[in-house]
Amino acid sequence: MNLSVKPLLLLATFVLTACSSKEELVLPPVTNSIEPVTVWQQSLGAGVEHYESKLTPLIVNDTVYAASREGLVAAYELQSGKRKWVFDLRKPEGGSVWSSISDVWSGDNARISGGISYGYDKLYFGTENGDVVALSPEGKLLWRVEVKGEVLARPATGDGLVVVTTGAGSIIALHPDSGEQRWLFENEQPALTLRGVSEPVIETGGVIYGSGSGHLGVLISERGYQAWEEQIAVPKGSTDLSRLVDIDARPIVRAGVIYSIAYNGELVALELRSGRPLWKRDYASFRNMTMAGDTLYLVDSVGRIYAIDSRGGTEVWGQQGLHKHFLTAPAVYKDYLVLGDNEGNLHWLNRNTGEFVARQSMDSSGFYTEAVTDGEHLLVQSRNGELVLLQTP
């Protein structure tokens, strides 16, 4: 995570210092009661390295899709890890990366960011250079269009649209077959924001978005008109940093209710149709939340982990053992809650009690994005591009 100032860019280390402590952090002792098994492991380019690129991989049916920041997108067989194809965004028409090894290390950087989406039988992703790209499931380039601003979050698909948000605050709807712009909604950003944007969500005719000014809103999918907008985080404090109120976490929509959380803000539940507040609680975060049944799981801005009853906002449990450690967003996998940290550890918790059940030391480059799952497998991608598929009995 880092901060962006128009027109300046501040280093991520400042906020990392705020999220963790200068003192030496010690992991709590854990006796492994489960032994996750590595099904396969693959490496894709240089990953995201030290950049704050949220390159979350994707599982679709029997295929894993993943990307690296420099411009590689690859598909792997889910069961075996065998590589199906590699697309290189830096080459004309995305030619095979293996046709010229010298090109791979040419120094060009496509700056893919935000992760891969799937919809309408296509793959979609964006770049910090302002490109939105569509590939076929076989790795063929279908279209590539330029938008005004960095695309820092994964595109959303639905209602006949591909929707992207930019670092400048714009929300842009594109035609999924051609990339032609359908509509544009411009959302003013404050002077100082976290470097990141909330991934949009398309649900029942609306595009749900969060802003750098602490607002949560809904646009009508067909035209891009604003249905409503509510402020869920109010700037407080005497310094610009203390007044950051970004909504960088992806909203969650269930049964007509939107759940959202803001940095230096609150966790809220709002009625989807009207924006009417149903409840709010004093939790703050910039990481994505996840939900299973009636329970929301979140990691707050300083590494505390919580389970919240979504029906009224009651805290089910809290886990303080990784306080001040820099964690990924949580992933629900079977009976567990799984989180990575910036030292390359995977932490496994019993999702009903919050107790630690296992820890794995995986990759010293660390984790920045959350794990993904298809229910049977858990997939993680490290900063240096290592993909590992895990499974528990």
Give the DSSP per-residue string, 328-364: ---EEETTEEEEEBTTSEEEEEETTT--EEEEEE--T
pLDDT band at 10 (very low <50, low <70, confident <90, very high): very low
Backbone angles phi, psi at 258, to 5 degrees: -105, 130
Residue of higher predicted confidence among 263 and 159 = 159
Is 289 within 8 Å of 262 (Cβ atoms)? Answer: no
CB 270 within 8 A of CB 217: no
What DSSP character marks residue 98? G
Alpha-carbon distance 257 to 249, whole Å? Answer: 16
pLDDT of residue 54: 82
Angle at 308 between CA 21 and CA 302, to 5 degrees: 10
Residue 241: other Cβ atoms inside 10 A: 14
Buried b (16+ CB within 10 A) or exposed e, 105-135: eeeebbbbbbbbbbbeebbbbbbbebbbbbb
**pLDDT > 60? residue 127:** yes
Residue 147: name the closest of 103, 114, 191 by CA: 114
CATH class as words, domain 51-186: mainly beta
The answer to whether residues 117 and 149 touch, using CB atoms and an 8 Å cutoff, is no
Q: How confident is the model at residue 201 (pLDDT cuts 50, 70, 90)?
A: very high
| Amino acid making up residue 327 | L
Q: What pLDDT does residue 223 have?
A: 95
d(CA 126, CA 357): 37
CA distance 75 to 136: 11
Q: Which of 95, 98, 112 is nearest to 154 (CA)?
A: 112
Is 189's pLDDT higher than 70?
Answer: no
- Comparing 233 with 291, the larger pLDDT belongs to 291
pLDDT value for 295: 98
Confidence band, pLDDT 50/70/90 cuts, at residue 370: very high
Task: State the DSSP code for 197.
Answer: -
Beta strand 37-43 pairing with 63-67: unpaired
Does the pLDDT at position 50 exceed 80? no
Which helix (H) or strand (E) element contains residue 17? helix 12-19
Most trustworthy range by pLDDT among 44-53, 206-215, 236-245, 303-312: 303-312
Residue 104, SS3? Answer: helix
CA dihedral 191, 197, 198, 200 (to 10 degrees): 110
Count CA atoms within 13 Å of residue 365 on its CB side.
17
pLDDT bucket at 25, cuts 50 / 70 / 90? confident
| Residue indicated by tokens 């293996």 | 98
pLDDT exceeds 50 at position 285: yes
The conformation of residue 94, written as its DSSP 8-state character, comes to G
User: Residue 12 belongs to what H/E stretch?
Assistant: helix 12-19
Query: What pLDDT does residue 271 have?
Result: 97
Rounded to two decimals, what is the model's pTM?
A: 0.89
Torsions phi, psi for 358 (to 5 deg): -165, 155
Residue 93 pLDDT greater than 70, yes or no: no
Inform me whether the pLDDT recorded for 153 exceeds 70: yes
pLDDT at 237: 62
Which pLDDT belongs to residue 52?
Answer: 74
Q: What is the model's pLDDT at position 4? A: 45
Runs of H (alpha helix) within 20-142: 101-104
370, with CB counted inside 10 A (0-12, 13-18, 19+), is buried
